Amino acid sequence: MKKISLIFFFLLNSLFAFLIQRDALRNGLIILSAEDHKLPILEIRVIIKAGSVFDPKGKEGLANLTIKSLLRGTKRYSALEIYEVIEAVGARIGEWAGYDYSQISISLLAKDLDLILDIISDLLFNPSFPDTEIKKLKSEITAGILRDEGQPYYLLAREFYQTLFAATPYSHPTVGKKESVEKLTREDVLDFYNKYYIPNNIFLVIVGDFKREELISKIEDIFGKVPRGEPLEFSFPEVKRLSGRKAKIITKEEVNQSYIMLGHFGIKEGEEDMIPVRVLNFIFGAGTLTSRLGKEIREKRGLAYDVGSYFDRRLYSGAFVCEMQTEIKNTQEAIKIILNEIAKIKKEGVKLEELKRVKRFYTGNFPLTFDSYGEKAGLMTNIELYHLGEDYLGKFKERIEGLSLEMINEMAKRYLDYENLLLVIVGNVREEDLDLSGWEVIK
């Protein structure tokens, strides 16, 4: 069988090179591999390009239930046998659904590669989805939702994204809602599985102590026989922009801080502006001690322990979020400071000194971003999933160094907004405790 192969070679300096090999099997399965013989271990990621964004309406949580069901039985092994076989050799496995993709992630000793590859292929292409197991899983998931509802941060994030991304598949938590999970059936899982768990919708990432030629031929032997599936169509609905300032207050009497999220839509991962936008955000709010938000809120005034902002990483849309937790009586002040800082950076832009500093950070920090097998695997996953391009690593430094003050200030104008915003607060606070003039309070 002939496979297509590509190499991205990235040279950090004369001593360190990071070599990523991209192979494609005839059935469309992609393998990204990077040899690293420092330790006798391997890090494997199996990425199925179907996350919770593919959950049908009313069936929220289906992607998550599907990936979790894989480990609950195959035609060869029962759930307990799967755990036993994997853990007997000291390997670790985790499986979950994100928004854009579902993932199985395994750390193992290199000597157990054959065994683990065999299990992965069994999980992926031979699951039996026992009905009793699916029922058990559903009960575990819904109990987990109740558990998480005891945490203010969980309630905050769920409410924020649900409101911001309303009417899009990004609005629900990846695990789904209690009511929707309860209704899911084995047939739903089978449908989802048949549609998305096809070799041409999956890629493998492998980092560590292996020889590429051997690895690829093993994978070809094991995975190559699975037939290619029907190409998938997916379109993400148009997001409805926010108009005006909306606020939502969730009163929890026992919570002695206001948990705050404030933000709006952001940017799709992989878009041209992503790098300058991240640089802008670095100056604005990334870094608890050193960013503008960190300085104003934590360092100068001691209003919060955690404070920061981010543009999140999603394939079809994105969010810009400022978040913090502060003592109830400081709620109003904290919100005011965030709004002022957004207004200020839009109006006045960033300082040349700030830009120079962030450039020094990004260029100096670059080697630290792939310091471990796990981080290399994460980086390779992002490159493939978000189409960052084979020259992403090679050109990264150059792109950072090429950023001008005008460009960053243009990003602030384009991607930050203080007029159209969503604010969500969870804590022992009520609408009447706050001055929300100019805000539309939503229930």
Among 61, 199, 285, 287, interactor with another protein by CB under 8 A: 287
What single letter denotes the amino acid at residue 294? G
Q: How far apart are CA 77 and CA 70, in angstroms?
A: 11
Binders of another protein among residues 226 to 255 (CB under 8 A) are 252-255
Residue 27 beta carbon to another protein: minimum distance, rounded to whole angstroms: 31
> With contact defined as beta carbons under 8 Å apart, do 341 and 292 qualify?
yes
Q: Which is nearer to another protein, 168 or 372 (CB)?
A: 372
User: Residue 83 interacts with another protein (CB under 8 A)?
Assistant: yes
Q: Which is nearer to another protein, 34 or 267 (CB)?
A: 34
Q: How far apart are CA 59 and CA 182, in angstroms?
A: 9
User: Residue 139 interacts with another protein (CB under 8 A)?
Assistant: yes
For 152, the enclosing helix (H) or strand (E) is: helix 152-164
DSSP class of 19: E
User: Residue 432 interacts with another protein (CB under 8 A)?
Assistant: no
Residue 178 beta carbon to another protein: minimum distance, rounded to whole angstroms: 10
> With contact defined as beta carbons under 8 Å apart, do 345 and 416 qualify?
yes
What six digits make up the tokens of 438? 């100019």
What six digits make up the tokens of 390? 């084979």
User: Residue 90 interacts with another protein (CB under 8 A)?
Assistant: yes
Binders of another protein among residues 10 to 29 (CB under 8 A) are 12-13, 15-16
Residue 186 beta carbon to another protein: minimum distance, rounded to whole angstroms: 18
Q: Which is nearer to another protein, 251 or 420 (CB)?
A: 251
For 183, the enclosing helix (H) or strand (E) is: helix 178-183
> With contact defined as beta carbons under 8 Å apart, do 255 and 152 qualify?
yes
Q: How far apart are CA 277 and CA 408, in angstroms?
A: 7
Binders of another protein among residues 291 to 320 (CB under 8 A) are 295, 298-306
Q: How far apart are CA 49 and CA 68, in angstroms?
A: 15
User: Residue 171 interacts with another protein (CB under 8 A)?
Assistant: no
Among 4, 5, 6, 140, interactor with another protein by CB under 8 A: 140
Among 76, 147, 336, 413, interactor with another protein by CB under 8 A: 147
User: Residue 257 interacts with another protein (CB under 8 A)?
Assistant: yes
How many CB atoms are closer than 10 A to CB 353?
8
Binders of another protein among residues 368 to 387 (CB under 8 A) are 368, 371-375
Among 273, 327, 410, 431, interactor with another protein by CB under 8 A: 327
